Each structure stands twice: as structure tokens, then as C-alpha cells.
Amino acid sequence: MLPTFNLIESSVRDVHFGKNVRVVGPVNIYGCYIGQDSFVGPFTEIQKDVIIGERCKIQSHSFICSLVRIGNDCFIGHGVMFINDLFSEGKPSGDQNKWQPTRIGNDVSIGSNATILPVQICDQVVIGAGAVVTKDITEPGVYAGNPARKIR
């Protein structure tokens, strides 16, 4: 006997779009806001309560979890992962009250395969590819490494 399962199709639902937003499917985007003139690439998930500013580019295979706010004129590279649950009890928390927010300023570029924990990143920051951001970034500049540190 074959196992049974429920297939949930990728979709776009309950999303507020600004003007001229382009989305390339397949994607899973729900309960969020995407500002005007922004772009979302394929194989991307953007969860509820996310706010993405104007003129942003979200490249393919990225995951933007609940409680993330991204400013204007930002670039999110391929495969960028945002985290809102720090597994403080050694496992995923089913209690959304334990999840933490992330705030990304304006003119921020995040390189491919970076991981962004619940932090605040100020305006005019570049995060290098593969970086892991574990602490707030309060000074403009270029950050790279694991954990991410200012390199210039």
C-alpha cells in the first residue's frame, strides 16, 4: 500500500503588493507586504507579517520568515535564510511569542547563502556571501564571515 499524503501547492495568497511588483513562480508567499517596483525570484518563500520595502530584489531560493522587515532599495541574494527562532529550548519553538524580529535598513545588500539571525542591520551595509549575522550591525560598511565582522 502506498503512503497517503496531502499535497499543498505553492501559492501567492493574502499579499499586499505595491505597484509594478514582479514575481517569478513557483513561490510560496503569504500574509505579507511587498513594496512597489520590487522583484521576487522563483523558489522563494516569504511568510506572514513580513514587510519588504520599495525597489527591493529578492533572488531565488531565499527564505524570509515571519517578523522580518526589509527597508527600501535592498538586495537579497540567492539562497539567503532569515531565522526568527533561536531554538532556545533545543528544538523549534511552537510558541510564536518566543520568535524574534529582524530589521534590515535601507540600501542593504545581502550576499548569496548568508544566514541572518534575529538582528537589526542599519542602512548602507553589505553582507558578504555565506556570512552568518549573529549580532546587530549599527555601522555602515562591509561585513563577512561566520560570525560576520566588519572588514571595511
* Helix (H), strand (E), coil (C) string for 89-116: CCCCCCCHHHCCCEEECCCEEECCCCEE
Band (9; pLDDT cuts 50, 70, 90)? confident
Q: Spell out the domains of the chain, with CATH numbers in brackets.
A: 12-150 (2.160.10.10)
Please say whether the beta carbons of 127 and 121 come within 8 A: yes
Instruction: Give the CB-side neighbour count of residue 57, counting CA atoms within 13 A.
Output: 10
Residue 49 vs residue 85, higher pLDDT? 49
**Per-residue confidence (pLDDT) for residue 97, from 0 to 100:** 86
pLDDT for 17 equals 97
pLDDT in tens, 81-139: 999 988 888 888 888 888 999 999 999 999 999 999 999 999 999 999 999 999 999 99
pLDDT of 35 strictly over 80? yes
**pLDDT beyond 90 at 144:** yes
Q: How far is CA 21 from CA 29, 33, 50, 97, in A?
A: 13, 11, 15, 31
Q: How confident is the model at residue 1 (pLDDT cuts 50, 70, 90)?
A: low
Q: How many CB atoms lie within 10 A of CB 91?
A: 8
Q: Are 43 and 58 in contact (CB under 8 A)?
A: no
Residue 8: the pLDDT is 74
Q: What is the pLDDT of residue 5?
A: 73
The string of pLDDT tens digits covering residues 10-29 is 799 999 999 999 999 999 99
**Which pTM does this prediction carry?**
0.93
CA gap 68, 66 in Å, rounded: 6
